[in-house]
Structure 1
Amino acid sequence: MFSLYTDAATQPESGLSAGGILLIHDHQQTQEKVALTATNNHTAEFEIATIALTRLRDQLGAAAGETTVLFHTDSQIVSQSLAKHYAKHYQAEVDRLLSVQSAFQLVLTEWVPEKQNQGAHTLANQALHAREADVK
């Protein structure tokens, strides 16, 4: 089983976004910081979740079909949209994420408070600060 934590950070004034991915498997942690194309936080949350699951799927190859993923997000819209398979303003993002999830045997999505998602949160903020520094 894989435990996957994602978070996004967006600077509203500049529209810059970045994400953090924390993957835990067999007591080993993998951390990644990602620049995102999204210009608002909700879209960024969907984007980082899709990127994280796509990278895990690609890494596992055919074994993804036998893999269970515990996906943790502090984004209520991502969590609720996945549960309902619907989001009024983000349906394309929901559909992309559900499509990627279908490669796995099972993806269990759990909403967690921000304080329980500090690893991914910190990575997202570090990546955003790096992007802002590059622009200045």
Structure 2
Amino acid sequence: MIEVHTDAACSGDPGLSAAGIVIKTNNQTEEHQFFLGTWTNHEAEFLAVSRALELCRSDYPGEIISIRSDSKIVVDTLDRKYTKNKKFLPLFEHIQELEQSFSFVFYKWIPDKQNRHADKLARECLLKHAQNPDQS
């Protein structure tokens, strides 16, 4: 099983946003940061999950993936496999497509304090981009 922690940071809502992703396999930990552009906080959280699944699709296809996020709305939406929010729908549908690359994907809500590593990565990326916007 691959354990994946995701988080997003935003400067404004909507505002510039970034994702932090931590992938844990056996005794190894991978760190990833992505500048996402301008999104709402919730949209950025969905994008963080999407980016994590894209990474896992190329490196760990067919595996069991455990996504852990401190975004209750993202975890609840993906667990229920349903949203009526039109802004979330394209992001949700993309995540559902990505899920097909794995034997099983499940989502778990975790408190902020258990997601500090992914949060730190997202905030660092957002700060780097704010200081030097020409490098994404």
TM-score normalised by structure 2 residue count: 0.91
Contact residue 7 and residue 48 of structure 2 kept, 8 A: yes
Distance in 2 of aligned mates of 1:38 and 1:56: 24
Match of 2:54 in 1: 54
Q: Give aligned pairs, total.
A: 132
Tell me, which stretches of 5 or more residues in structure 2 are unaligned?
none
**CA shift for structure 1 position 35:** 0.5
Contact residue 35 and residue 129 of structure 2 kept, 8 A: yes
Match of 1:93 in 2: 91
Distance in 2 of aligned mates of 1:45 and 1:15: 13
**Structure 1 residue runs of 4+, over 3 Å off?**
none
Contact residue 14 and residue 41 of structure 2 kept, 8 A: no
Q: Secondary structure at the match of 1:127?
A: helix
Distance in 2 of aligned mates of 1:104 and 1:56: 9
User: Using a 3 Å threshold, how does the CA distance of structure 1 residues 13 and 91 change in structure 2: closer, same or farther?
Assistant: closer
Contact residue 85 and residue 95 of structure 1 kept, 8 A: no
Contact residue 17 and residue 39 of structure 1 kept, 8 A: yes
Q: What are the equivalent positions in structure 2 for 1:2-13 lying under 5 Å apart?
A: 2-12=2-12
Distance in 2 of aligned mates of 1:14 and 1:47: 14
Residue 112 of structure 1 aligns with an amino acid whose one-letter code is I
Q: What are the equivalent positions in structure 2 for 1:112-123 lying under 5 Å apart?
A: 112-123=110-121
TM-score normalised by structure 1 residue count: 0.91
Report whether the alignment pairs 1:70 with 2:45: no
Report whether the alignment pairs 1:39 with 2:35: no
Distance in 2 of aligned mates of 1:30 and 1:3: 11
Aligned CA-pair RMSD: 1.6
Higher helix share: 1
Q: Percent identity?
A: 30
